[in-house]
Structure 1
């Protein structure tokens, strides 16, 4: 693969990493696709080993991303309904106030849903904080897998 093509793959991986931190683009999917294309074009044992490592890291962290924070939310007593409302208000917020509206909308949606359920500010805020921590944990888990995949690709490009 030419140096220009590898730079392009690296840029797609970088955009994927940004898409994980700022959930605008399907970051994990971009990283997976970029490394798959690189492995297909480059060929050889090293390229396919890197692809296998990247795919394994992305799949494992995708599973953990949905199970671990979900379990913590169940322990905190936050219902899925509040998360769905928070997600929908977050999407609307993203278009009203670009980028930060996603976070603000999520917080507002979860809080309003929980106030309606608990009828007290303290309990609603406690649930909102638990939901925010779970969302942050989910992002960190996904980012961890993506960084392993990106690191494996970068090591292969630089050292092989």
Structure 2
């Protein structure tokens, strides 16, 4: 790979952005799916390859939009069915944000669990009843992450196939 060649440099940088996006889905520090999508957008704008790269970008955009929509709808529906209110999730998110800064990396997860448990403890006024709601919220967060990871990996696969074609 000749990095003096603009096309090679753009392709390498976009590949790194997509890889960082995939890591960002797993370790929620970076906006993972957005970073993957932006990597393909930059590739479509600046790399050589003609119109097939725009077809790749259109397919990738479809995966990004579908992944984002499904990431919120499916786990949210499961939480509604299990009776976990939105205020509980807001408390979990707020403590997750605090935990992220207090205990780097793992504080995000610990803060979310603690926030959901505390909110449910206050709402239900029973420690034993708060734990099932917390488990439902954790399952929903895990499902959301898996959906986003699947979309990011699909974006990477389509981009890789586009590299082979373009």
Q: What corresponds to 2:84 in structure 1?
A: 78
Cα deviations by residue, 1:3-38 (Å, 9 ceiling, x for unpaired): 222111111111111111111111111111110110
2:153 to 140, 147, 153: 147
Q: CA deviation at 1:159?
A: 4.8
Structure 1: unaligned runs, 5 residues or longer: none
TM (normalized to structure 1)? 0.95
**Which residue does 1:115 correspond to in 2?**
121
Q: 2:64 aligns with which of 55, 58, 63?
A: 58
Q: 2 CA distance for matches of 1:159 and 1:45?
A: 11
2:104 match: secondary structure: coil
Give SS of 1:2's match. Answer: helix
Q: What's the Cα RMSD here?
A: 1.2
Aligned to 1:127: 133
Is residue 24 of structure 2 the alignment partner of residue 19 of structure 1? yes
Asked whether 1:48 is paired with 2:51, we answer: no
- Distance, in Å, in 1 between the alignment partners of 2:87 and 2:120 is 9
Higher mean Cα deviation, 41-50 or 144-153? 41-50
| Aligned residue-pair number | 160
- Partner residue in 2 for 1:138: 144
2:73 counterpart of 1:67: yes
Matches of 2:99 and 2:82 in 1, distance apart? 25
1:38 partnered with 2:43:
yes
Q: TM-score normalised to the size of structure 2?
A: 0.92
* 8 A contact 2:64–2:155 mirrored in 1: yes
